[in-house]
């Protein structure tokens, strides 16, 4: 049989290509087989009985099952063994979900026969391997001239409703915890949970949602990259006792349950006890069996495993600030992503913001028109929104599923409290400048923060606010251009607003955000306390190591810094930005710059915040920052205006500084903090507590949306 296919599925769009981030490879590995508009490049089916793919099994009973494939073929290094899902495939409309090259198969080159162990996740459908030959270049995109010359038997999926990909998500209610998982179409999705392993005294029936091709925007996501997500189930575990370990299983009575996992519930509202959180961004995903040969996110596996290992060290949450799966419209990657994230996200809530690879596409309502970005390849935030149910903002959210196929109505920003921290997570991919709805929300959320209740105010976003980068291109994907855009919109707000409930005991360091974490460039960069591009003073500073050099190994202890500290932490797995992409010498505000993979451990109590930048592999710490909020000795501290540190420094000689000792109990600032509702009400009715743009907002904005 020989037939020719030349598919073109979606009208071509004259749009820009990928953002040029750092200097690593950017194209999705499947893009070499597809056209830019989502169609398939030309290929032929020319089965040759001399060639074959023999499997040790033709039945899949679980996710992660190994299949031993014995491949007989021409023996070319550029041959391709690919897995189609579902099978039998429609080669005119489907791209395969993963592949390896002939050069990856032991013994295949030049003997023409070799074996490879694949590990297949559960795609909820039957699957089949095929062997291509001819014309695939491993290093550059080129038009393949390849033929399908052999097919394996079809692998029957015997467990399409196996519950998989579980990941936890916190809500604004600390006594609740969401769990999300997928099946093909299992009925009555249920989570069972309790305080004792194996004994589930509580049970919650969840909801089921999904998305289909019509919910997406365009491009590859609506072309060959589309992949049926099955049923996405969400269930809410409620009535949780604070800071308590719960054991749980998820699934259905009809098709069975997941293995048991456990998590530690969130601190009670107003708790100032120590919390331990992992901060990360830009991780991506990779197939455990080595598929997709040039995929540049393989280090994400080691990082995910390292984060999972932090569970035993008491870390109870991961805040991940954008660029998640890098599926880029090849939607089966989202299944693999959550298989990988479940390594740790079944044990700690996974809190995220969207990045360009989740959100951006021209005319989809994103933040970009100069000249626009196609980085989501037509996902337009819809896939992200359905798979990451972040806390809702009453009065500000549109319905969860964008049904108008544009992404325009998504509001993917939110805030939540976690012990002594107020997290403000905004969306750099959607409009954020003054005049936008998101900007109004940011001001309102800042005004609601009670620094007695949550002494620490941490902002998360995807794109850099400050960055050491040589990219000064004047377009929406230019690193410095975008950083300047964000600073123009928000830096004054993040530094000048007056927090509610300023206390004589804590007048200092309370009027600005404490820290900001973001990704986008794939590197670690940490600043001094910065305002308007200049290092700002602290009451005391102690440094070790050499600051402002590439590859630094430093510690910094700051008491009452007078401006935020900025952390670029986009080094969780996607190919690193190299030092050659940065400015030389290192600009003075960047105290620690490291092009290594890893993540940040963060410990926070009422008065002390400690970050440790961890390198993977190696598990060594290369930057430690300790921020201390000391108690001033004077009672004459201003309560409504910010006291510049340079003119009215509080004495630190007698300040009771709380540090973290093993087993220590952090100090408590306020035994009975006011409620958040009270704080919002007061902020809206007491102009003295507000400044600048916040004070000018009409009082009806909380009802927008
Ligand atoms: Fe990004």
Q: Using the mean position of ligand 1's atoms as its centre, give its distance from the Cα of residue 323 in Å.
A: 5
Domains and CATH numbers, the chain: 3-157 (2.60.40.2840), 164-628 (3.60.21.10)
Q: Using the mean position of ligand 1's atoms as its centre, give its distance from the Cα of residue 371 in Å.
A: 16
Q: Using the mean position of ligand 1's atoms as its centre, give its distance from the Cα of residue 386 in Å.
A: 19
Q: Using the mean position of ligand 1's atoms as its centre, give its distance from the Cα of residue 481 in Å.
A: 14
Does residue 693 contact residue 443 with C-beta atoms inside 8 Å? Answer: yes
Does residue 60 contact residue 155 with C-beta atoms inside 8 Å? Answer: yes
Q: How many residues does the chain have?
A: 705
Q: How far is CA 313 from CA 268, 307, 308, 498, 621, in A?
A: 21, 10, 10, 36, 15
> Concatenated DSSP letters for 465-507?
SS---S---SSTT-HHHHHHHHHHHHHHHHHHPPPBT-BTTB-
Q: Using the mean position of ligand 1's atoms as its centre, give its distance from the Cα of residue 689 in Å.
A: 36
More confident residue, 294 or 483: 483
- Residue 378 has a pLDDT of 93
In a 13 Å sphere around the CA of 174, the CA atoms on its Cβ side amount to 21
What are 285-328's pLDDT values in tens digits?
999 999 987 678 999 999 999 999 999 999 999 999 999 999 99
Q: Using the mean position of ligand 1's atoms as its centre, give its distance from the Cα of residue 442 in Å.
A: 21
Q: Using the mean position of ligand 1's atoms as its centre, give its distance from the Cα of residue 141 in Å.
A: 22
Q: Using the mean position of ligand 1's atoms as its centre, give its distance from the Cα of residue 151 in Å.
A: 37
What are 180-207's pLDDT values in tens digits?
999 999 999 999 999 999 999 999 999 9
Q: Using the mean position of ligand 1's atoms as its centre, give its distance from the Cα of residue 670 in Å.
A: 39
Q: In the predicted model, what is the mean pLDDT of the chain?
A: 83
Average pLDDT over residues 508-514: 70
Q: Using the mean position of ligand 1's atoms as its centre, give its distance from the Cα of residue 367 in Å.
A: 14
Q: Which residues surround ligand 1, an ion (CB under 5 A)?
A: 323, 355-356, 520
Residue 681: CB partners within 8 Å, gap ≥ 6? none
Three-state DSSP state, 598: strand
* Distance between start and end Cα atoms, the chain: 57
Average pLDDT over residues 437-464: 92
In a 13 Å sphere around the CA of 352, the CA atoms on its Cβ side amount to 26
Residue 636: CB partners within 8 Å, gap ≥ 6? none
pLDDT bucket at 261, cuts 50 / 70 / 90 = very high
| Cα distance between residue 316 and residue 4, in whole Å | 54
How many C-beta neighbours within 10 Å does residue 370 have? 14
pLDDT bucket at 549, cuts 50 / 70 / 90 = very high
Q: Using the mean position of ligand 1's atoms as its centre, give its distance from the Cα of residue 686 in Å.
A: 39
| Cα distance between residue 267 and residue 289, in whole Å | 39
- Residue 84 has a pLDDT of 96
Does residue 374 contact residue 341 with C-beta atoms inside 8 Å? Answer: no
Query: Pairing mode, if any, of strands 156-157 and 59-60?
Result: parallel
Q: Using the mean position of ligand 1's atoms as its centre, give its distance from the Cα of residue 292 in Å.
A: 21
Q: Using the mean position of ligand 1's atoms as its centre, give its distance from the Cα of residue 519 in Å.
A: 7
pLDDT bucket at 219, cuts 50 / 70 / 90 = confident
Buried b (16+ CB within 10 A) or exposed e, 379-406: bbbbbbbbbbbbbebeebbeeeebeebb
Task: Specify the range with the lowest mean pLDDT, choosing from 386-395, 464-473, 637-646.
Answer: 637-646
Q: Using the mean position of ligand 1's atoms as its centre, give its distance from the Cα of residue 283 in Å.
A: 10
Average pLDDT over residues 416-444: 94
In the chain, how many H helices and how many E strands? 9, 37
Q: Using the mean position of ligand 1's atoms as its centre, give its distance from the Cα of residue 360 in Å.
A: 10
Q: Using the mean position of ligand 1's atoms as its centre, give its distance from the Cα of residue 282 in Å.
A: 7
Q: Using the mean position of ligand 1's atoms as its centre, give its distance from the Cα of residue 494 in Å.
A: 22
| Cα distance between residue 688 and residue 695, in whole Å | 9
Q: Using the mean position of ligand 1's atoms as its centre, give its distance from the Cα of residue 7 in Å.
A: 31
Average pLDDT over residues 402-412: 60
- Residue 668 has a pLDDT of 26
Buried b (16+ CB within 10 A) or exposed e, 276-295: bbbbbbbbbbbbbbbbbeeb
- Residue 669 has a pLDDT of 24
Is the bond preceding residue 617 a cis peptide, omega within 30 degrees? yes
pTM given for the model: 0.86
Q: Using the mean position of ligand 1's atoms as its centre, give its distance from the Cα of residue 172 in Å.
A: 26
pLDDT bucket at 566, cuts 50 / 70 / 90 = very high
Q: Using the mean position of ligand 1's atoms as its centre, give its distance from the Cα of residue 320 in Å.
A: 12
């Amino acid at each position: 049989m020989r037939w020719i296919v030349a598919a073109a599925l979606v009208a071509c769009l004259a749009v820009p290509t990928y953002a040029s981030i750092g200097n690593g490879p950017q194209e999705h590995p499947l893009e070499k087989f597809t056209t830019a508009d989502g169609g398939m490049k030309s290929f032929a089916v020319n089965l040759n009985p001399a060639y074959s793919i023999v499997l040790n099994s033709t039945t899949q009973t679980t996710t992660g099952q190994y299949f031993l494939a014995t491949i007989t073929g021409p023996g070319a290094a550029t041959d391709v063994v690919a897995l189609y899902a579902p099978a039998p495939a429609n080669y005119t409309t489907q791209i395969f979900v993963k592949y390896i090259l002939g050069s990856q198969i032991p013994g295949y080159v030049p003997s023409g026969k070799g074996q490879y162990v694949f590990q297949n996740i559960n795609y909820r459908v039957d699957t089949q391997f095929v062997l291509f030959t001819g014309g695939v270049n491993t290093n550059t995109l080129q038009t393949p001239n390849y033929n399908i010359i052999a097919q394996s038997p079809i692998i029957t999926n015997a467990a399409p409703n196996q519950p998989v990909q579980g990941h936890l998500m916190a809500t604004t209610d600390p006594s609740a915890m969401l769990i999300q998982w997928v099946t093909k179409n299992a009925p009555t999705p249920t989570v069972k949970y309790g305080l004792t392993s194996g004994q589930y005294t509580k049970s919650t029936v969840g909801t089921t949602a999904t998305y289909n091709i019509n919910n997406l925007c365009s491009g590859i996501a609506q072309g060959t990259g589309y992949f049926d997500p099955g049923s996405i189930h969400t269930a809410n575990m409620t009535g949780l006792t604070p800071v308590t370990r719960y054991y749980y299983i998820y699934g259905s009575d009809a098709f069975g349950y997941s293995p048991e996992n456990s998590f530690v519930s969130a601190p009670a509202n107003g708790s100032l006890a120590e919390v331990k959180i992992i901060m990360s961004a830009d991780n991506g995903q990779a197939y455990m069996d080595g598929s997709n040969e040039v995929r540049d996110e393989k280090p994400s596996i080691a990082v995910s495993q390292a984060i999972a290992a932090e569970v035993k060290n008491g870390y109870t949450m991961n805040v991940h600030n954008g660029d998640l799966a890098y599926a880029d419209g090849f939607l089966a990657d989202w299944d693999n992503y959550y298989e990988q994230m479940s390594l740790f996200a079944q044990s700690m809530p996974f809190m995220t913001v969207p990045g360009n690879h989740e959100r951006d596409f021209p005319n989809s309502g994103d933040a970009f028109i100069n000249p626009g970005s196609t980085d989501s390849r037509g996902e337009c935030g819809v896939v992200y929104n359905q798979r990451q149910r972040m806390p809702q903002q009453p009065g500000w959210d549109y319905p969860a599923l964008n049904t108008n196929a544009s992404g325009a109505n998504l509001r993917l920003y939110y805030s939540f409290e976690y012990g002594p921290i107020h997290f403000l997570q905004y969306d750099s991919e959607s409009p954020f400048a003054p005049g936008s709805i998101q900007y109004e929300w940011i001001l309102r959320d800042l005004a609601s923060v009670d620094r007695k209740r949550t002494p620490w105010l941490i902002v998360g976003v995807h794109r850099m606010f400050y960055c050491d980068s040589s990219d000064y291109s004047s377009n929406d994907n230019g690193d410095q251009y975008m950083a300047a855009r964000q600073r123009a919109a928000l830096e004054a707000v993040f530094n000048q607003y007056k927090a509610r409930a300023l206390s004589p005991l804590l007048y200092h360091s309370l009027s600005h955000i404490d820290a900001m974490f973001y990704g986008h460039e794939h590197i670690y960069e940490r600043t001094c306390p910065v305002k308007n591009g200049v290092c700002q003073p602290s009451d005391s500073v102690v440094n070790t190591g050499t600051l402002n050099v590439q590859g630094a190994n430093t510690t910094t202890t700051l008491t009452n810094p007078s401006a935020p500290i900025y952390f670029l932490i986009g080094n969780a797995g996607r190919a690193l930005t190299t030092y050659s992409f940065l400015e030389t010498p290192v600009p003075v505000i960047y105290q620690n710059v490291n092009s290594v993979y890893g993540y940040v451990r963060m410990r926070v109590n009422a008065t002390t915040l400690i970050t440790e930048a961890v390198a993977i592999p190696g598990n060594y710490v290369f930057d430690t920052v300790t921020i201390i909020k000391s108690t001033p000795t004077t009672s004459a501290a201003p309560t409504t205006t910010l006291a510049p540190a340079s003119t009215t420094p509080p004495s630190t000689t007698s300040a009771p500084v709380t540090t973290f000792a093993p087993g220590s109990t952090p100090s408590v600032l306020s035994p009975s903090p006011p409620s958040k509702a009270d704080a919002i009400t007061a902020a809206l009715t007491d102009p003295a507590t507000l400044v600048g743009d916040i004070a000018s907002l009409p009082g009806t904005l909380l009802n927008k949306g």
